[in-house]
Structure 1
Amino acid sequence: MILVLGATGGIGGEVCRLLKHEGTPFRAMARKQEQIDCFHKDGVDAVRGDLDRPETLTAAMTGIDTLFLVTAPTQAQVAQETAAINAAKRAGVGRIVKISASDCNVRSKIPWAKSHALIDHHLRASGVEWTILMPTAFMQNFLWFTKPVAKGYLPLGAGKGSVSWIDTRDIARVAVTVLMQDGHSRATYFLTGPETFDMAEAARQLAKVTGHGVRYLDLPGPVFRTVLRLTGNSRWMANGLVAQFSDMVAGHHDIDPTGEVERLTGQPPKDFATFLRDHRDAFAKAA
């Protein structure tokens, strides 16, 4: 039995959908009873558990042999995922499939990059078998900028750097493949989209899907931070994104396409044009 953490999020929710489609037994974990009720209405086994309350995790993991671990980037991420790993070990879970990040490093100035590195080290030393998936930046992050794009601007602090952006649906597809197969223990997979492009190219593709001109604005750090705050990001998240774009992207440190998505799943990852077509309505409604 597979237990899916982060089951109400973007990647975890897609993992649940794909596992259900495949007819693979799994259980979703969520914090709120109304979320549990929604899963039950959809015919999905679900259990309450809270990563901020480690005492709730052992019961949630009873009878589980494989754990899918993904959490949102927050200041509590290290404590939450470490608690999940420890609970899995106590419950006798045999393997953990974890979503990490391609830029993780214990000395990184990017908070979630450092967090993932610390958690990955803890997982590898836990004694539980593991598979770690390390995706690059998510295409879905462009949805933060639907309103400025509607006004003809893509405001980022990325310089001329390029990124191998990946659709989170492809991350979920790889995760489900790994969860359903043997042979991935102690493996680390770097996941990317099929192409690398800079923000000027992103703006050109956004212009095609929206039907109006979109210009990339390369913002200084303080201005980019202000834009991020105005688009609903917390101060912690905004500071982290400024660090990520100024270092990893503008500094040309992101990785090139790896081909791992197609190698593992047999299907190529979605390109940016496909992502934009699939989310055309989100950009259209912001206009």
Structure 2
Amino acid sequence: MSTVIVFGPTGHVGSHVALSAHYFGAAKVILAMRDPSKPIPGLTSANESSHSFQRVKADLSDPSSLSSVVSSTGATRAFIYYNHASTDHMRSALEALKAGGITFVTFLSTGGILPEMDLSSSLDPKESLIYWLHAQAELNIISVFGKENYVPVRPAFFASNAFWWKAMVPTGKIKVFAPGVTVDWIAPSDIGRVSASILVGGPKEGYEEAVYLVGPQKVSFAEGVRKIVKAVTGKEAEIEEVDGEEQVGVYTAGGIPGPVAAHLVESFGKLEGLQATRGDWLPVGEEFEAQVRNVKVYTGREAQTLEEWIEEHKEEFAG
């Protein structure tokens, strides 16, 4: 059994990677944190002390500290995400992880990198900034670790993105840009459990390349927030369509960096036009169903529905 290190264990996805790693057979789980005193969702002090968890101070933004920290833990497998503070698309951090003893990486990437794309040439940062950034990190992972020693997990639209509207939900009045855009609302817990399975055991046979994940339902932004408002307040939501500039303000108020917020708005605007003229932007038919099934392939559990996710998190919107 291996020792694994999980970066970002306080996040929506990272917390579930950390919590699930023991289930999938990790001997020890290292919790790499900027602030080791910070609570980890779902991890009680009793559980932490009774299992082989270890907190360490480590930051992907500080490559100079990574090698010694990783080496001291004995970790050989790492879960990482894209660090937007990096100035070299994580190259220095990756080299430090390898120098510290990491031999295999599970990388939280993006479903915007499609199977047919060439990482080095298919994406334009002016057109697809978020996807391009993740592709650059993947190219560096391949260069440092080798293609056979990493698996990118590529989910589509996180259900937790609904927290963009958190402050508005109790009022029942929700401002939404491109309300008709349809997304899949995949639960971060499913992404985390799949990532933990890969982190500990590697890819399943026949799944050696990227693992794509989608939620089991296609629901528009407007319908999604209606479901949340109804579950939290018991009332029907009032949806106000807003322009892109106002939506950028909503995103940045929630802590999203300005360039990323602008890219999101631009992307959703394009998706709105695409759906109006050509239909779905998500995979369709058997390809969509296969990406839904990937959750069960790796975790043994069906993918969580949007309604189930809302039921688990409605108190977070109410308070």
Instruction: Give the structure-2-normalised TM-score.
Output: 0.78
Structure 1 CA distance, aligned partners of 2:97 and 2:313? 36
Report if the CA contact (8 A) 2:151-2:203 is conserved.
no
* Structure 1 CA distance for aligned equivalents of residues 23 and 187 of structure 2: 19
Q: Per the alignment, in what secondary structure is the counterpart of residue 125 of structure 1?
A: helix
Consecutive unaligned residues in structure 1, runs of 5 or more: none
Structure 2 CA distance for partners of 1:218 and 1:149, relative to 1, 3 Å = same
1:278 and 1:250 mapped to 2: Cα distance?
Answer: 33
- Aligned residue number for residue 34 of structure 1: 37
Percent identity over the alignment?
Answer: 21
Choose from 2, 5, 15 the match for 1:3: 5
Report 1:117-132 matches (<5 A): 117-128=135-146, 129-132=149-152
Counterpart pick for 2:76 among 65, 68, 83: 65
Closer, same or farther: CA 144–56 of 1 in aligned 2, 3 Å: same
Secondary structure of the 2:61 match is coil
User: In structure 1, which of residues 107, 117, 139 is the aligned counterpart of residue 124 of structure 2?
Assistant: 107
For 1:214 and 1:283, the matched residues in 2 are separated by 14
Aligned residues: 283
Partner Cα separation in structure 2 for residue 110 and residue 224 of structure 1:
18
- 2:170 paired residue among 138, 146, 150: 150
Alignment partner of 1:215 is 2:238: yes
Q: 1:261 aligns with which of 278, 292, 295?
A: 295
Where in structure 2 are the equivalents of 1:1-287 lying within 5 Å?
Answer: 1-20=3-22, 24=26, 25-35=28-38, 42-43=48-49, 44-62=53-71, 63-71=74-82, 74=84, 76-77=85-86, 79=88, 81-104=90-113, 106-108=123-125, 109-128=127-146, 129-184=149-204, 186-209=208-231, 210-248=233-271, 251-252=274-275, 253-256=281-284, 257=288, 258-259=291-292, 260-285=294-319
Q: TM-score scaled to structure 1, two decimals? A: 0.86
The AA in structure 2 aligned to 1:107 is D
Q: Which amino acid aligns with 1:113?
A: Y
Shift in Å at residue 45 of structure 1? 1.2
**SS at structure 2 position matched to 1:101:** coil
The runs of 5 or more residues in structure 2 that have no matched partner are 114-121, 276-280
Q: Could you tell me whether the CA contact under 8 Å between 2:162 and 2:225 is conserved in 1?
A: no
Q: CA deviation at 1:59?
A: 1.1
2: CA distance, partners of 1:233 / 1:133 = 21
| 147 and 91 in structure 1: CA distance in 2 versus 1, 3 angstrom threshold | closer
Instruction: Report Cα offsets for 1:41-99 as digits up to 9, x if no partner.
Output: 63321222222221111112222221111246x3x246363333222332342211110
With over 3 angstroms needed to count, the CA separation of the structure-2 counterparts of 1:52 and 1:282, relative to structure 1, is closer
For the residues of structure 2 that align with 1:6 and 1:153, how far apart are their CA atoms?
33
What's the CA shift string for 1:230-267, capped at 9, x where partnerless?
44544334213212322346534344542211222221
Q: Distance in 1 between matches of 2:200 and 2:162?
A: 30
Distance 2:175 2:136 in 1: 31
Is the Cα contact below 8 Å between 1:167 and 1:275 reproduced in 2? Answer: yes
Q: Is the 1:161–1:251 Cα contact (8 Å) retained in structure 2?
A: no
Q: What is the DSSP-based 3-state SS (H/G/I as helix, E as strand, rest coil) of the residue aligned with 1:84?
A: helix
